[in-house]
Amino acid sequence: MNKKEREMREEARAAIIEALKNGYTGYYGNLHHELFYADYYIIGTYKAKEALKDYDVFKAIEKVQEYEKYNFGKVCTDLSDPEKLINMLYYIIGEEVLYEIMDGVEAWEENWNNQATDETNAAILEAIEKK
């Protein structure tokens, strides 16, 4: 894992924890989508190109292709667009981080289909901190 991937993983983890601490109220099953798809990770071609250089553009392309072929049956992201590529990469990393930190978190697993509450958010955060 390179420095940029570690940075992106740390940012994704912080985004998940921050959302729960700040009173996330959507459905837990939609948390990933709301955090990593509904908004952009990077805006601007120059910034996207720099981030992809730091990550390794060919590794980013490979990761996005593998993910999309497995999950969608085809590649959907325009791999020639640096913004789209880096944002999809962050989406994928966000999913990986979410599943890693929620693995074995009972409050998360039991409430996947439920709307978030402050009480459940607190229980999830407590379980994450204990890991």
**pLDDT at residue 62 in the model:** 98
1 pLDDT higher than 90: no
Angle in degrees, CA 59, 89, 114, rounded to 5: 145
Would you tell me how many other CB atoms lie within 10 Å of the CB of residue 52? 21
pLDDT at 131 over 90: no
DSSP conformational letter for 72: H
pLDDT attached to residue 22: 97
Query: For residues 8 and 90, is the Cβ–Cβ distance under 8 A?
Result: yes
Quote the tokens at residue 72.
């969608």
51 closest CA partner among 94, 96, 84: 84
pLDDT digits (tens, 9 = 90+) for 96-116: 999 999 999 999 999 999 999
**pLDDT (0 to 100) of residue 83:** 97
Q: What is the pLDDT of residues 37-83, one digit of tens each?
A: 988 999 999 999 999 999 999 999 999 999 999 999 999 999 999 99
In the block, tokens 């740390």 appear at 10
Taking CA atoms, 46 is separated from 42, 64, 99, 111, 127, in Å, by 10, 20, 31, 40, 39
Q: Looking at 35-39, 43-47, 118-122, 125-129, which range is the least confident one?
A: 35-39
Residue 12 near residue 97, CB atoms below 8 Å? yes
- Rounded average pLDDT over 26-32: 97
